[in-house]
């Protein structure tokens, strides 16, 4: 029994060290998953705003209610989107889209639209 006096302190330190390692691993996993969920949410919000901006710009193009350098901006619950029409030729317009979420994520794209054929002829991100 006299040789067991120094056994408790090293084993306690080892158990505490293992508990700290487990706690650190779980904490890191939690932070990583939380960041992933936030980024995924922002991606889908941005994708939804991009789709809304495209549909709205196509409605304006279909109505032939277009002026050169016409600028349209809309505020939505999760951010804002805008688009601008630039006349390239008498039948072709370039539409520049810009979307921004309330948390600062941004997306910019442009496409060309042919009024005679009523279709997109080019896309650029």
pLDDT of residue 122: 86
Number of residues that this document lists for the chain: 125
pLDDT of residue 67: 73
pLDDT of residue 5: 66
E strand segments, 2-91: 71-76, 79-87
pLDDT of residue 71: 85
Q: Name, in order, each residue with C-beta under 8 angstroms of 33's C-beta and a sequence gap of 6 or more.
A: none
pLDDT of residue 51: 92
Burial of 120 (0-12, 13-18, 19+ CB in 10 A): middle
What tokens were used for 100? 């921004």
Q: Cα(first)–Cα(last) distance of the chain, in Å?
A: 76
pLDDT of residue 24: 95
For the chain, residues with pLDDT lower than 70 are 1-5
């Amino acid at each position: 029994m006299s040789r067991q006096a120094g056994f408790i302190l090293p084993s306690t330190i080892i158990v505490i060290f293992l508990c700290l390692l487990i706690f650190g691993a779980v904490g890191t996993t939690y932070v990583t998953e939380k960041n992933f969920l936030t980024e995924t949410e922002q991606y889908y919000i941005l994708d939804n705003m991009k789709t809304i901006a495209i549909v709205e710009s196509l409605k304006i193009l279909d109505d032939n209610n277009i002026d050169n350098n016409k600028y349209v901006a809309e505020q939505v619950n999760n951010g804002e989107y805008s688009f601008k029409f630039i006349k390239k030729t008498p039948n072709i317009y370039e539409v520049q889209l810009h979307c921004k979420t309330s948390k600062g994520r941004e997306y910019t794209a442009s496409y060309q639209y042919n009024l005679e054929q009523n279709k997109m002829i080019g896309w650029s991100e």
